Structure 1
Amino acid sequence: MLPLLLLLPLLWGGSLQEYPGYKLQIPELVTVQEGLCVIVFCEFFYPWHVSFTTDQLCIYWYWTGDNTYSNRLVATNCQNLVVKTETQGRFHLLGDPKTNNCSLSIRDARKSDTGIYEFRVWGQYVQYSYRTQLNLQVTDLTEKADIHILEPLQSGSPTNLTCSLPGSCDGGRPLTFSWMGDALNMLDPSTLQSSVLTLTPRPQDHGTYLTCQVKRRWPQVTTERTIRLNVSYPPQMLGSSCSWEAEGVHCSCFAQAWPAPFLHWWIGDRLVEGNSSDASFSVTSSSIGPWTKSSLSLSMELTSVLRLCCEAWNDHGNQSVTVLLLPGKSASRAEVALGALGGAGTMALLSLCLCLTFFFIVKARRKQAAERPGGMDDEDPVMGTVTWSCRQKPWPESTPAQQSHSGDTPPSREEQDVHYASLSFHGMKPQKSKDEEATSTTEYTEIKTSK
């Protein structure tokens, strides 16, 4: 009876249908690009379960090409059989036949691998060639390299970037990698020939392009991928200015960051956010890309020193610049001119004092510049920076002169006549900022005197 059962699958061979009880589940068409890898998932069934016998169950994959009679063995779990030379080390069976797994791994696919593949099973109680066949097509390599960033890029934080060729695998055709981009000009060239790149981005790297190039040999094919870097960094104040206009004081400040910074103003101890206005002030802000500009217009009359502070912030930090406005009459240009003529003598004396003061300041700053590290060469030689926040007063509650009079008789009127002056620096080069959590600068604006 058993020989008759073994003969039935052979008699069924004239049909494209599987013999009852036999089934092979595989994709009918598998396409892979030359030089890459692919896994063909496969599961087979037959009437006699392997647990009924202790004999080894052998499975085979044969390449038939275009001729089903020119079969060549490409993969098997039977060690005593020799596979096709061209597929040695590249075609492998995956899984265990006892679990009905006939999956096939193909590495470094070649054009010569194109063709029809047939699956067979052989054991003591089963010998069968399945009619369902695998059609494998190997095409030209058109896959592009892929760049994977493990975590978001943040200025000053090292991050690993990985370049790969999708579809490649260990044991496949050798690949060589190279990295290119403006963000890499400070890196050791020897580190740019690996699939993994460690990059510590800078603010100026935001928006630049990074390219990974992958080369494959035999035959040589080059593919690459270019991405635009998205680098987060804290705000940098690019500049600020204040000027007197007919309507009052007009101030502007500019900041750069990514994501784009938010700007708000402190008018003394009052916080003004967004676009807002009332009878004494008006604020307008706008952003383009990483740049934000905010303008403040004041129509109030100053009766005491007023501190204006422009603060920029985003999720990565903040930075501010403080401007001190000195009290004086909100006079027209003609009135200011008349006042200047009437106090010509006083102004001449004050000008002399200012000149002497600046002479010694510049001399001292030049001496400091000669002693400072090379990285500070671009700092402004006249205007200094002070780490004051917008909520911190940039001057003590009382001056040394006031303290000296605290225990004596009140000074005479002549001793109380103190001149206040401040300077407006226009068109100055913005100072380079560092990646700090919070820094600020204080600028003194408007040449103006009062008693």
Structure 2
Amino acid sequence: MDQNSKMMIFCLFLAALSSPVFAGEWKANVVKSLDTLVSSCVVVPCSFTHPKGNLPTSRLRGIWHRSNDRNQRIYFEDQTQVLENFRGRTRLLGHLGQSNCTLEIMDVKDHDNGPYCFRIEQALTETKTDDKFSFVEDCVKFTMLPVPLKPALTHPKTATQDLPYTVTCSVTHTCPSHVPKLTWSKAAPDAVNEVHREIHPGNWEAQSILTFIPGEKDDHTEIKCTAQFNGGKTSFTTLTLYVKRTENYNHIIIPTVAAIGTAVIFAVFCILMAKKYKTRIAELQNQEGSVWNQISRLSRRSRISRQSPALYCSAERHPECVVYFSTIKEK
């Protein structure tokens, strides 16, 4: 055997010794503490490794028990072996064959504070087990919350009239299997977006994002976001909306246009009236001139006729006049 072969065998031997599978290492990753709302539910993230490697879920049994007594079980497949107070309230959300031991507790009581630990067993038969291990160093404890946390509102300080305005309502919780419901005091169904994300192991955040266009009537009105948790408890937060009016000059333009319009109409009316009266005066002057001309002609004719009737009368045009004046002359 050459030197390279010996070195390879030696490395494989070291790897086997350090491997959890061969070394028989048991490990669990469990959240240490969670703030839990009474009457709601809580989900405890949990994962584990065991020396048998990957096994089917049917060959594994998962147990959750009190840290001081593994026989006080809060979860087990056989419900008759579960503490009466926890029967029907606990279940595993993951698959043990995938090393997932996540626990859900429903209808949390104020005395369910724990701590609780996970135990894994490899089943040979229904009554015999081949290997088992309790992770008593990795347990979870709850801090009980009698009332829910209030939602947090994130929004700009002021809104601008006729421009989109966004408000975000968020609340943290420990029950991703039953997400809190967030509702708004005023909102259109298509103006709300919802987001649900894990902020860190065992703690989740539900968000509701409201977008709307505020008007002048919305100034100094209240917007309320209500969070309804699993179990029926609710909490809410309100904000007072301040709407900044859009800058415009309507209060100057409208009166100015109205004044100019009135002045134009009045000016046109005055021009038409002046033109009408001017025409009327011209007509009256023409009429007076005609009368005076007629009177003047008659007066002139009368003077001429008295001074020189012969000049006034024409034999061709007024023969009777010539006869008349001839008679007068003879007399």
- The TM-score range, normalised by the shorter chain, is 0.3 to 0.5
TM-score (norm 2): 0.48
**Higher share in helix:** 2
Specify the structure having the higher radius of gyration (Cα).
2
Greater RCO, CA 8 A, separation 6+: 2
